[in-house]
Amino acid sequence: MLSYASNLIKLARNDRHLNPSVAIYYVTTQCNLNCAYCEDFGARRNDHAEPPLPLHQAMQVLRVIRSGVDSLFITGGEPFLHPDIDELLMRAKHELKFREMTLITNGFLLPKHATALSAIDRLIVSLDSLNAQSWSPIIGIPFASTKSIHANIRNYAECQKEFGYQMMVNAVLSPEILSGAEALLEFCMEHHLLISFSPQAVNNWVRYELMVSSEYRAFIEKLIAYKKHGAPIAGSIAYLQTLINFQPYDCYPTLAPRIMPNGDLTYPCRPFEKANNGQGGRPVNLLNVKTWDEAWSKAYTAYGQPPHTCHSCFQQCYIEPSLMQSHPLTFLHEYLLYPSSRKGNLRTYAAG
Which candidate, 245, 264, 272, places its Cα nearest to that of 25? 264
Q: Residue 44 interacts with other proteins (CB under 8 A)?
A: no
- How far CA 182 is from CA of 103, 214, 226, 266, 324, in Å, comes to 25, 15, 11, 36, 26
Q: Is 314 left (phi over 0), alpha (psi -120 to 50) or beta?
A: left
Q: Residue 308 interacts with other proteins (CB under 8 A)?
A: yes
Instruction: For residues 282 and 38, give the distance between their C-alpha atoms in angstroms, rounded to a whole number.
Output: 21
Q: Residue 309 interacts with other proteins (CB under 8 A)?
A: yes
Specify the stretch interacting with other proteins by CB under 8 A; choose among 64-72, 178-186, 224-232, 305-313. Answer: 305-313
Site string for other proteins, 266-295 (x = CB under 8 A): -----xx-xx-xxx----------------
Tell me the closest approach of the beta carbon of residue 172 to other proteins, in angstroms: 16
Q: Residue 312 interacts with other proteins (CB under 8 A)?
A: yes
Tell me the closest approach of the beta carbon of residue 78 to other proteins, in angstroms: 24
Specify the stretch interacting with other proteins by CB under 8 A; choose among 132-140, 245-253, 257-265, 335-343. Answer: 245-253
Q: In whole angstroms, how large is the CA radius of gyration of the chain?
A: 19
Which candidate, 144, 148, 137, 150, places its Cα nearest to that of 177? 137
Q: Which is nearer to other proteins, 206 or 284 (CB)?
A: 206
Tell me the closest approach of the beta carbon of residue 236 to other proteins, in angstroms: 18
Specify the stretch interacting with other proteins by CB under 8 A; choose among 79-87, 130-138, 196-204, 226-234. Answer: 196-204
Tell me the closest approach of the beta carbon of residue 279 to other proteins, in angstroms: 6
Q: Residue 203 interacts with other proteins (CB under 8 A)?
A: yes
Q: Which of 205, 332, 337, 342 binds other proteins (CB under 8 A)?
A: 205
The string of DSSP codes covering 46-65 is GGGPPPPPPHHHHHHHHHHH
Instruction: For residues 269 and 226, give the distance between their C-alpha atoms in angstroms, rounded to a whole number.
Output: 32
Instruction: For residues 201 and 37, give the distance between their C-alpha atoms in angstroms, rounded to a whole number.
Output: 8
Q: Residue 211 interacts with other proteins (CB under 8 A)?
A: yes
Q: What is the binding site for other proteins (CB under 8 A)?
A: 202-208, 211-212, 245-248, 250, 271-272, 274-275, 277-279, 307-312
